Amino acid sequence: MSEDSQAKKELAAIKGTKDILPGEVEIWQKAEAAARRTFELYGYRELRAPVFEATELFEKGTGETSDIVLKEMYTFTDKGGRSLTLRPEYTPSVVRAIVEHRLDLLPQPLRFYYMGPMFRYDKPQKGRYRQFHQIDIEVFGEKDPAIDAEIIEMAHSLLSSLNVTETETLVNSVGCKACRPAYHQALRAEARLKSESLCDDCRRKIDTNPLRIFDCKVETCRAVAEDFPRITDYLCAECSDHFARFRAYLDVYGLPYRVDPRLVRGLDYYTKTAFEIVTTKIGSQNAVCGGGRYDDMMKEFGGPDLCGIGFAMGMERLLSIAGIQAPPRKTLYLAYLGEEAKKAGMSLAGIFRKAGIECLVEFKDKGLKAHLGRASKTGAAWVVIVGEDELKKGRYPLKDMSSGIQTEGTPEEIMQSVKDRG
């Protein structure tokens, strides 16, 4: 490898991360704006927490036996000798913020949303990154299964505003502290019988966290797990009732779904409802949205006994299936001819921008032809020409770049006609 290409490689973005460049970023902004609008329509408020937290927060919150904590965290020791972790998911941070700021004293339920980067040392592939972005919502203090249905309906409302089609909603109940032990026992017994056919990882999970066997991507493990006992056959009366009412509320919204008794999701803290929205449009990384209930999490954090539920959508996957386009940019290019016109043009640009018109001034002296060529290259919608004669008259030519038609007017008239055609 030449020195030059070696240097380029060293300076390239880290594997599993990517730049979001102009051209693509407008689509992100559009999706983010749609998410904000949707969530705020349902009464959610934004809560921004730091990107890194104490490592113990995730060990405790995400769960010590989860793959995320065992294998995927970006953990480092800071200069003060403290172990910190770049957040792999958002829920533990929100729970910490609620406990820390006593947000539980506010009227409940609490509804929060957030958008931002998450970090996991995952195996990079299409649809799977090490820095990826999630849209996340959380509700605290609402036990009623109607909220479980409402957040799924809200997720669909966002998906449809982004023209995402061909999705399927998978739902399950993963039980609670009362009913899970008996299920774990049955599952362990069956998994031990079949342990010969399971991978090393799954064999380890038999003792640590048998539910996680269902998350295994190895084909043989998946096939064996098909015949394992189903959690839905072990639910206690409370979980069973919650699950039935939740599904009835999904019917109220007219949302089709499929019960998948093997849907356990990758995190340890779920209780009762677990769900995923998958797409049939992309390959193996087909989960666009995943969520569920975590009724014990806050209490286990030493906080109040406040139940919780939420979901996270992966932005990269969402955008790979969203049918949205970046809005066209409408830039007005200000062409000036000579030093006096340059100064006047700079002031004029300020007037246009105050009126909300995107205005571009370039500071390299050029003739009119070069200005027009440059305006066309930048994709400007209009060009205003400021020359000495125009300055004296206070009237300026306005060229519409798509039609080529040129008119003339005062700054006010120009602003009006740009707005009319905007």
- What distance in Å separates the CA atoms of residue 57 and residue 211, rounded to the nearest whole number? 22
**Of the candidates 93, 118, 152, which has an alpha carbon nearest to the alpha carbon of residue 301?**
93
Distance in Å, CB of 118 to ligand AMP, minimum: 7
Q: Which of 53, 153, 316, 390 binds ligand AMP (CB under 6 A)?
A: 316
Strand order in the sheet with 396-400: 358-361, 331-336, 382-386, 396-400, 406-409
Using Cβ positions, the residue closest to ligand AMP within the complex turns out to be: 314
Q: Which stretch binds ligand AMP (CB under 6 A): 27-35, 126-134, 349-357, 365-373?
A: 126-134
CA distance from start to end of the chain = 51
Please state the length of the chain. 422
Nearer to ligand AMP, 234 or 275 (CB): 275
- What distance in Å separates the CA atoms of residue 165 and residue 159, rounded to the nearest whole number? 8
Q: Which stretch binds ligand AMP (CB under 6 A): 58-66, 74-82, 221-229, 314-322?
A: 314-322
The binding track of 133-152 with respect to ligand AMP, each residue x by CB under 6 A or -, is: -x------------------
Distance in Å, CB of 140 to ligand AMP, minimum: 18
Q: Which of 26, 122, 201, 296 binds ligand AMP (CB under 6 A)?
A: 122
Asked whether position 290 contacts ligand AMP by CB under 6 A, the answer is yes
Nearer to ligand AMP, 72 or 295 (CB): 72
Report in angstroms the alpha-carbon separations of 367 from 339, 382, 384, 385, 389: 12, 17, 14, 11, 15
Residue type, 231: I
Report in angstroms the alpha-carbon separations of 17 from 20, 84, 119, 341, 413: 10, 20, 9, 46, 47
Distance in Å, CB of 285 to ligand AMP, minimum: 7
Asked whether position 63 contacts ligand AMP by CB under 6 A, the answer is no
- What distance in Å separates the CA atoms of residue 403 and residue 99, rounded to the nearest whole number? 60
Q: Which of 18, 36, 128, 194 binds ligand AMP (CB under 6 A)?
A: 128
Nearer to ligand AMP, 161 or 286 (CB): 286
Whether 398 contacts 375, CB under 8 Å: no
Q: Which of 312, 348, 375, 381 binds ligand AMP (CB under 6 A)?
A: 312
Work out whether strand 308-314 and strand 271-279 pair parallel, antiparallel, or are unpaired. unpaired
Could you count the other beta carbons within 10 Å of the beta carbon of residue 143? Answer: 15
Considering only residues 250 to 289 of the shown chain, the ones binding ligand AMP according to CB under 6 A are: 265-266, 287-289
Distance in Å, CB of 124 to ligand AMP, minimum: 8
Please give the residue ranges that form the binding site for ligand AMP (CB under 6 A): 89, 120, 122, 128-129, 132, 134, 265-266, 287-290, 312-314, 316-317
